[in-house]
């Protein structure tokens, strides 16, 4: 099976988004010190509290060491050789509408299939596009404003809603949280800010598309989503980067806050450049994502499809503080060629009757190393807490690896926690069964892989589900038929 040509074709397709946009940029010289932090803050015209917050993070970061516990091997990162700010040059302070955005930028997003033009209403998705360090455009602003929804770039939020930022920024992922989150807190450049007021159901899906373009830069975006009492939002995130021989660092932080009866659905299709077949180049994707269910009956759902990046280090988690709150994590992670993924989730149960579900599917191919690392922690206050975890791994090839490191820590005797996992290759029996019914080998493999991932794909919004399936090169038709 491992020698199967179609299977190799399936997992060996080239990176589709590796082009570079030739655009004039303003880029800070490489290096990191307090001056760089102050400069970024000055460029963004930030209030004093934010500058101080950044500096506090930077000083703390100097005292930290890179974490080494992940099941990955990475070349050491020279943090002084990275440029911490790069932005496309604009004539004025910022584009007032899409007409003022550089056409080459718009072309880039057209190539990527991101609907920036509001005329693409059929897509029905409001998009914030982040190019290197800054947001270049946000669509459907008017319609969202009518509903009371704030959806803007982080830079805009700093100017227009500083009180909300001061209240929520760092309240879920504190600046001292970990090495990469701390670095992000010091140098983050842009990102998205979402606020859904009380009782509002966001009229459309929100989406941010991240693109790294410039060489020798890192991307440190920050996303903050606050869903006030009784509100609902579905947020999508996508990302790509050019093919380069160097490793580029992406260290983002995402914070979600859900108040009473609120619901946040956060979906990611991560397709950063994974490096070539020999592991040269690719993005180091070291991301901290965490949601806090602060209110009663709140719900946060993470869905991720991880196909890109040379190294992925990412554990989207939920802190279930409110009574009856619910955390969910659905993940498909593919590690092909020399990719390494150490990903999973953390579910921290604090409130009574909190529930969490974890479904993780790992696919390893070539020399890829895929690790699921998950923590389910039930504190003594979490009366009647419930967790179910399922993590399965599929191996394609005798040189890849699939690893599972779950942590189950329970301090309340009324809690019930269940974890189950399996690791296997594509079953010869399943394949034979399909083949002897006249299904081609390619369709059979597609069908089996699709069936393996189905429980995650069904959690994705439709547009992303299609993109995710394309990324995994799996045809849905076979499975549906």
Partner 1 sequence: MSALPATMPTPRDEHWKYANLRGLARARFEPSVSPPAETVARITAALPKPLEGFERIVLIDGFVSSVSSTPSAFTTTSPISIAKLNADRYFLELNRRLRSDTLRLAVARHQKRSVEVVVVSLGTSHPAIEIALAEGAELSLIERHLPLSADATVINLVIFAVVGVHAQFELSRIVQASPKAQHVETIELRLCEGSASKFFQLTTGAALSRTTAFAAHDGRDSSLEWHAAALGEGTQSHDAFVHVAHSAPSAKTLQQFRGIAADRSRVSFTGHMRVDTNAPYAQCDQSLKCLLTGSEAEADVRPQLEILTDAVRASHGATVGKLDPDMLFYLLSRGIPEESASSLLKWAFVSDVLRRLSNPAIRAEIEYSLERVLPGAVAARSGT
| CB nearer to partner 1: pick between 148 and 406 | 406
Indicate the residue among 102 and 392 with the shorter CB distance to partner 1: 392
Reading the block at residue 373, the tokens are: 């690392």
d(C-alpha 288, C-alpha 254), whole Å: 6
Which lies closer to partner 1 via its Cβ, residue 147 or residue 408? 408
Contact between 260 and 322 (Cβ < 8 Å) = yes
φ, ψ for residue 332, nearest 5 deg: -120, 125
Give 407 or 432: the residue with its C-beta nearer to partner 1.
Answer: 407
CB neighbours of residue 422 within 10 Å:
10
Rounded to 5°, the CA angle 464-368-374 comes to 65
CB of 472 to partner 1, least distance (A): 18
Minimum gap (Å) between residue 178 Cβ and partner 1: 14
Residue closer to partner 1 (CB basis): 291 or 327: 327
The least distance separating partner 1 from the CB of residue 287, rounded to whole angstroms, comes to 22
**Shortest CB 389 distance to partner 1, Å:** 8
Percent composition of the chain: helix, strand, coil (DSSP 3-state, to 5): 25, 35, 40
E runs forming strands in 218-353: 222-227, 232-240, 247-250, 253-258, 263-270, 282-293, 299-306, 311-314, 317-320, 326-335, 340-349
List residues near partner 1 by CB under 8 A: 2, 69, 71, 378, 380, 393, 395-425
As a residue count, the chain comes to 481
Shortest spacing between CB 378 and partner 1, in angstroms: 8
How near is the Cβ of 177 to partner 1 at its closest, in Å?
17
Q: Smallest distance, Å, CB 443 to partner 1?
A: 21
Tokens of 391: 């993590």
Tokens of 189: 């450049």
**Rg of the chain, C-alpha, whole Å:** 22
Which residue has 């554990």 as its token pair?
315
- In the complex, the smallest distance separating the C-beta of residue 368 from partner 1, rounded to whole angstroms, is 11
**Going by C-beta distance under 8 Å and a sequence separation of 6 or more, which residues neighbour residue 125?**
115, 204, 205, 206, 207, 236, 463
Q: How far is the CB of 4 from partner 1 (least distance, A)?
A: 12
- Closest approach of Cβ 385 to partner 1, in Å? 10
Q: Is 305 or 395 the residue whose CB approaches partner 1 more closely?
A: 395
Residue closer to partner 1 by CB (options 230, 374) is 374
Q: How far is CA 71 from CA 57, 147, 367, 368, in A?
A: 27, 45, 14, 12
Residue 172 or 394: the one with the smaller Cβ distance to partner 1 is: 394
Q: Please identify, using beta-carbon distances, which residue of 188 and 372 lies nearer to partner 1.
A: 372
Pick the closer one to partner 1 by CB: 8 or 161: 8
Residue 233: closest CA among 180, 196, 274: 196
CA 381 to each of CA 42, 288, 321, 347, 416: distance values in angstroms, whole numbers, following the listed order: 44, 26, 10, 14, 14
d(CA 202, CA 246): 40
Q: Which residue has the tokens 């950044």?
A: 54
CB 388 within 8 A of CB 357: yes
The answer to whether 304 and 332 are in contact (CB under 8 A) is yes
CB of 216: closest distance to partner 1 in angstroms?
34
* Nearer Cβ to partner 1 (197/406): 406
Do 104 and 23 touch, CB atoms closer than 8 A? yes
């Amino acid at each position: 099976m491992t020698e199967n040509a179609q299977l190799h074709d399936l997992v060996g397709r080239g990176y589709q988004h590796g082009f570079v946009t030739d655009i004039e940029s303003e880029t800070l010289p490489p290096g990191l010190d307090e001056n760089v932090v102050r400069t970024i803050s000055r460029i963004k015209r930030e209030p004093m509290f934010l500058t101080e917050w950044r500096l506090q993070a930077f000083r703390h970061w100097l005292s930290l060491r890179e974490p080494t516990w992940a099941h990955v091997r990475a070349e050491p990162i020279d943090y002084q050789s990275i440029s911490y700010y790069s932005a496309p040059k604009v004539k004025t302070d910022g584009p007032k509408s899409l007409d003022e955005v550089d056409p080459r930028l718009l072309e880039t997003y057209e190539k990527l299939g991101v609907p920036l033009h509001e005329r693409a209403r059929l897509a029905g998705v409001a998009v914030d596009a982040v190019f290197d360090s800054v947001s270049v455009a946000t669509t459907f602003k008017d319609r969202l404003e009518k509903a009371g929804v704030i959806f803007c770039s982080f830079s805009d939020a700093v100017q227009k809603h500083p009180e909300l930022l001061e209240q929520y920024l760092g309240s879920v992922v504190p600046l001292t949280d970990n090495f990469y989150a701390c670095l992000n807190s010091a140098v983050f450049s842009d990102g998205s800010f979402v606020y859904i007021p009380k009782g509002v159901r966001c009229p459309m899906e929100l989406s941010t598309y991240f693109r790294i373009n410039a060489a020798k830069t890192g991307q440190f975006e920050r996303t903050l989503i606050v869903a006030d009492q009784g509100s609902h939002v579905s947020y999508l995130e996508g990302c790509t980067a050019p093919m380069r021989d160097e490793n580029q660092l992406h260290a983002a932080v995402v914070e979600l806050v859900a108040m009473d009866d609120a619901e946040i659905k956060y979906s990611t299709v991560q397709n950063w450049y994974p490096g070539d077949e020999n592991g040269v180049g690719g993005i180091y994707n070291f991301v901290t994502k965490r949601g806090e269910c602060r209110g009663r009956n709140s719900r946060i759902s993470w869905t991720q499809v991880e196909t890109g990046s040379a190294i992925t280090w990412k554990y989207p988690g939920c802190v279930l503080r409110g009574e009856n709150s619910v955390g969910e994590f659905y993940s498909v992670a593919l590690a092909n060629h020399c990719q390494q993924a150490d990903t999973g989730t953390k579910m921290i149960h604090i409130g009574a009757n909190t529930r969490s579900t974890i479904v993780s599917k790992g696919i390893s191919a070539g020399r890829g190393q895929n690790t699921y690392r998950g923590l389910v922690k039930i504190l003594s206050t979490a009366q009647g807490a419930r967790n179910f975890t399922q993590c399965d791994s599929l191996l394609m090839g005798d040189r890849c690896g699939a690893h599972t490191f779950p942590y189950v820590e329970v301090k309340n005797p009324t809690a019930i926690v269940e974890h189950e996992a399996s690791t296997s290759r594509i079953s010869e029996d399943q394949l034979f069964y399909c083949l002897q019914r006249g299904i081609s080998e390619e369709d059979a493999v597609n069908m089996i892989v699709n069936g393996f991932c189905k429980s995650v794909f069904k959690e994705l919004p439709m547009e992303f589900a299609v993109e995710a399936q394309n990324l995994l090169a799996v045809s849905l038709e076979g499975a549906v038929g």
